[in-house]
Amino acid sequence: MKRKIIDVLIEWKDNVINQKERKPILLTGTKGVGKTFLAYDFAKSFFKHITYLNFEQDKSLSTSLLRYFSSKKEEPLHDNRILILDEIPSSAEMISSILHLQTSGAFPYILAISSSPIPKEHRQRFQTLPIYPMEFDEFLIATGNEWYIEVITNHFNSDKKVPDIVHKELLTLFHLYLQIGGMPAAINEYINMSSLINVPEQHQNLIGSYHDFIVRDNPESDALKMNQVFDCIPLQMLKTNKKFQYKLIRKGTTHAMYQEAIQKLNERYYTIPCRKICSEELSDSNAFFSGNPAEDVSNTNFKLYLADTGLLYTKLTEEIGKDRHEADEKLSTNRKKALLENYMAQALQARGYPFAFWESDSIAKIDFIIPKEDHLLPIEIHCSDSTRSKSISVFRQKCDIPFAVKISSKNFDYSNQIKYIPYYAVFCI
């Protein structure tokens, strides 16, 4: 499946002529997001000789094997040769070996993959490229609906309504995407079967693997806490107020007990954090966002989303299934808002935006705030085409903004400094 991010890989390949100046590129992202497929798809398209080593499948691989490659006397093949190192260990010895392979000329192009964070002291040695679940426009490409992308983009830029029949078709495709999500395995299953019947199984398999990886890669006490947090996210999201509450994990838990577990989930891309920005911080938002609010573990006022909306859809369906009496209400309100918020967080993360939420004494709340050019952009999400709300008016009293965004099932429009964007056009923001 075509991924937009491959353009970055091509740029990395083409832009640096001097191999000693070209950093190895590091693909990061959660398990199942398609890092290895992307690496191979790129390598097959541009390189004649591909060497692939997987440190997860073969635990016996070590730097001695890499030294073997670097000591070979054959003439380097330069632009036709690439080394792919899947799930590289984060040891200093390994990273030093990678750099030696490149500078020696053995492998002028090195592409590394890791689902775990690289120690900060080694990150500057790589050009890091985060890989996220497929966005809605990539979903359109995968399902043979690529022509819609230009239509959406043009109407986003002009604020002109798309024809009603196209609007309805795109809303249908979008709600399909909410159920499937952006994980390649789930999308492939849908395409191959022309049905959603096996998609939840793909989600469950991936969720199960997350639990297994967490247990495998962390001390027992940390793994228990990480899995507890991960499993309680659907309950958090089904609340009207979706701020994370520790009491939903179990009675008596505190921020201090679980902040490290949450940080590890965020670092491994299992979850997406969204911190609250206070009204006092709006005047100096550059400081707030430049400090990467996602990494601010001292901020105890936050929301926590899953890495992929499709995974959340399956977990919410499972959670609601425990109480069929309340299913209809939750399906129509809290679950839909949960999915839409998760989708928005996922899309903003994929597009590289830092983001936060804001509220004012329970009078008003803004679902997402992002820095956009030289101003803040407040974003409201609505569960239907009804977009009436006083929150943006209240926010304007706190912060001078040129315009705001409301996302809903409503067609494109612009009025009273409000840009109305349908769900399916979020990738244009």
CATH number at residue 34: 3.40.50.300
Please say if the pLDDT value at position 288 is more than 50: yes
Q: Is 269 left (phi over 0), alpha (psi -120 to 50) or beta?
A: left
Partners of 305 in beta bridges: 272
Quick one: how far is CA 370 from the chain centroid?
Answer: 16
Could you give the CA distance from residue 359 to residue 45 in angstroms, rounded to a whole number?
48
Strand order in the sheet with 127-130: 49-54, 81-86, 109-114, 25-28, 127-130
218 and 279 fall within a common domain: yes
Please say if the pLDDT value at position 174 is more than 80: yes
Boundary-marking domain end, from 98, 130, 162? 130
Segments forming the whole domain that contains residue 349: 137-428
Could you give the CA distance from residue 4 to residue 146 in angstroms, rounded to a whole number?
13
411 and 263 fall within a common domain: yes
On whether residue 153 sits in a domain, the answer given is yes
Predicted confidence (pLDDT) per residue in 301-323, tens digit: 999 999 999 999 999 988 776 55
Burial class (CB in 10 A: 0-12, 13-18, 19+), 368: buried
Pairing label, strands 302-306, 413-415: unpaired
Boundary-marking domain end, from 108, 130, 152? 130
Could you give the CA distance from residue 273 to residue 266 in angstroms, rounded to a whole number?
7
Predicted confidence (pLDDT) per residue in 111-135, tens digit: 999 998 888 888 888 999 999 999 9
For 197-279, list the strands marked E by DSSP.
271-276
225 and 321 fall within a common domain: yes
Partners of 369 in beta bridges: 356, 378
Q: Cα angle vertex 391, ends 312, 420, to 5°?
A: 70
- Band (pLDDT 50/70/90 cuts) for residue 16 is low
| pLDDT at position 411 | 97
Give the predicted TM-score (pTM) of the model.
Answer: 0.92
Boundary-marking domain end, from 94, 110, 130? 130
On whether residue 59 sits in a domain, the answer given is yes
59 and 206 fall within a common domain: no
104 and 145 fall within a common domain: no
On whether residue 361 sits in a domain, the answer given is yes
Q: Are 402 and 426 in contact (CB under 8 A)?
A: no
On whether residue 267 sits in a domain, the answer given is yes
Q: How many domains does the chain have?
A: 2
The token pair at 198 is 């096996």
The token pair at 331 is 């399906």
Distances (CA, A) of 148 to 143, 168, 403: 11, 12, 26
Could you give the CA distance from residue 155 to residue 136 in angstroms, rounded to a whole number?
16
- The pair phi, psi for residue 193, each rounded to 5°, is -95, -15
- DSSP label of 374: T
51 and 180 fall within a common domain: no
| SS3 state of residue 169 | helix
Predicted confidence (pLDDT) per residue in 333-384, tens digit: 788 999 999 999 999 999 999 999 999 877 889 999 999 988 999 999 999 8
Pairing label, strands 364-372, 413-415: unpaired
Please say if the pLDDT value at position 239 is more than 60: yes
> Taking the CB of residue 31, how many other CB atoms lie within 10 A of it?
18
Give every CB contact of residue 128 below 8 A, 6+ residues apart in sequence: 25, 26, 28, 118
Q: Which of 337, 305, 383, 308 is nearest to 238 (CA)?
A: 337
Could you give the CA distance from residue 273 to residue 303 in angstroms, rounded to a whole number?
6
